[in-house]
A = this chain, B = another copy of it.
Amino acid sequence: MNTLPPDAPSSPVPRPIAITQGDPAGIGPEIIARLFVHQPALARGCVVVGDEGTMRRALRCVLGGELAWPVVELAHWSEWAQCPPRCLPLLCPPALADASTGWLAPWGVVDARAGRMAAQCVEHAARAGLAGEVLALVTAPLHKEAMHQAGAPYGAYPGHTELLQSLAAEHQGKPVAQVPVRMMLANDDLRVVLVSVHVSLRQAIAAVTFDNVLETLHIAHRSLSQILGREPNLAVAGLNPHAGEGGLFGSEELAVIGPAVAAARACGVEAVGPLAPDTVFMQARRVAGAPPRFDAVIAMYHDQGLIPVKYLGLDQGVNVTLGLPLIRTSPDHGTAFDIAGSGRADPSSLFAAVAMARQLAGCAV
């Protein structure tokens, strides 16, 4: 392990972006290693939150026979600026350091310890984000089952979003229900914000309520206003084919979605809809040479939004959690246990997530 010399200056430096390593048995650590090795400009100002052994193994995996990069362990976030080039700056959460005895998670295996490590990294980075010590969080993929096996307190959270929401609520002294969040998926062509995420299609229909649609519109409006530096122009998809065709194919457009759009507009949100789901994404797609008609589409359920975002390929998709009191982006893929450690994992989506975090944080670190 390398540590910085004790006499390193501690004068104020720009705050870094925290990248959590994700499940150590998955591809998270190696795509993060690729970021530092292949995209040093993009990685500048980023600090990995994880454990040294995992990141050293990831660097070896990426570098092959080349001379391995040192992992430089930081004691404080502000030390990132002192990390020399061709080194990977790492902050190990105290809980992790206490528990870790050099154990390395076997690649591609669901393991409670690995799940726990991954969650501890997220918690540590999130607390730093909420305290204003880091500018933004980029989270590499967790494995849901491993986190579930990790037990209390992490096992109760289905994924990153719920854990972050809970930490934010605790930080703000509010009930979780008062920190509503929404998932935005974005790539170079399209942004979609989802009314619901990981529930059955049946439950997703039940979640298309006036309050949920209106809240989604408000969250999207606020967040995209920050992101774009101007008020966004939102399209709202219907739930049913042809947006219900005037009530022939379902009533939610007339009873719920239309009134929610009207209520949002009355508050100054620029939104149109409900529009036919099968053409609204095409209309919102950015095509070279023409400005898109809409800055984002509000999608009524998971696949309605994710099918068009993923249709042209997964490389550039980024997940952004809207509504949190911190900036959080993540790649649009999972742990890919089947190829972990093979060096074949495509880091493009992580690169895009880091670029998006930098943009959202307004940073030119």
Contact = CB atoms under 8 A, between A and B. Distances in A.
B201 A250 contact: yes
B279 A200 contact: no
Nearest to A332: B278
A202 B241 contact: no
A73 B200 CA distance: 56
Report, as a range, how many residues of chain A touch the other chain: 35 or more
A292 B248 CA distance: 36
B240 A200 contact: yes
B282 A249 contact: no
A249 B311 contact: no
A319 to B, nearest CB: 12
Copies in the complex: 2
Contacts of A304: 303, 307
A303 B276 CA distance: 9
B306 A278 contact: yes
Interface in A261-277: 277
Contacts of A282: 310-314
A281 interface: yes
**Could you say which of A202, A205, A250 has the most chain B C-beta atoms within 10 Å of its C-beta?**
A202
B249 A277 contact: no
A86 to B, nearest CB: 36
A240 B312 contact: no
A123 to B, nearest CB: 24
A34 interface: no
A279 B240 contact: no
Contact of A307 (B199, B242, B302, B308): B308
Interface string A9-27: 0000000000000000000
22 contacts: A198-B242, A198-B245, A198-B249, A200-B240, A201-B201, A201-B240, A204-B241, A241-B302, A278-B303, A278-B306, A278-B307, A278-B309, A279-B314, A281-B307, A282-B312, A282-B314, A285-B311, A307-B308, A308-B308, A308-B311, A311-B311, A311-B312
Interface of A: 197-205, 239-242, 244-245, 248-251, 277-279, 281-282, 285, 301-304, 306-314
